[in-house]
């Protein structure tokens, strides 16, 4: 099967949320889903000091949708919402 590159945006519920803590817990869930942690993480400024955490990881296409992963990620303390912002097949 092919591999896909998935990008998720995790929105914290306030500017005070520790995104490092969120990333650590998100990587645990991503590893359960994809077999390895996120390959890239960045903080994206939103407004008024609020920053979203954008995580990119590689998964097997046979896994199907990310609904279960999204449900697990939104349960992380301080996470308001999770949105898949990009999914594409890996080339090579």
Report pLDDT digits (tens) over 24-78. Answer: 999 999 999 999 999 999 999 999 999 999 999 999 998 889 999 999 999 999 9
Confidence tier at 92 by pLDDT (50, 70, 90): low
In the chain, what are the domain boundaries? 3-89
91 exposed, middle or buried (CB, 10 Å; 0-12, 13-18, 19+)? exposed
Quickly state the pLDDT bin for 90 (edges 50, 70, 90). Answer: confident
- The DSSP-derived string for 17-69 is S-HHHHHHHHHHHHHHHHSS--SEEEEEEEETTEEEEEEEEEEEGGG--SHHH
Q: Domain 3-89: give its CATH code.
A: 3.30.70.60
pLDDT given for residue 63 in this prediction: 87
Q: Residues 37, 30: contact at Cβ < 8 Å?
A: yes
């Amino acid at each position: 099967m092919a591999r896909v590159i998935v990008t998720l945006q995790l929105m914290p519920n306030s500017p005070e949320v520790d995104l490092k803590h969120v990333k650590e817990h998100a990587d645990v869930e991503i590893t359960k889903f994809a077999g390895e942690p996120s390959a890239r993480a960045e903080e994206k400024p939103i407004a008024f000091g609020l920053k979203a955490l954008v995580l990119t990881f590689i998964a097997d296409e046979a896994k199907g949708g990310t609904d279960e992963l999204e449900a697990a990620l939104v349960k992380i303390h301080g996470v308001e919402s999770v949105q898949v912002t990009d999914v594409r097949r890996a080339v090579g």
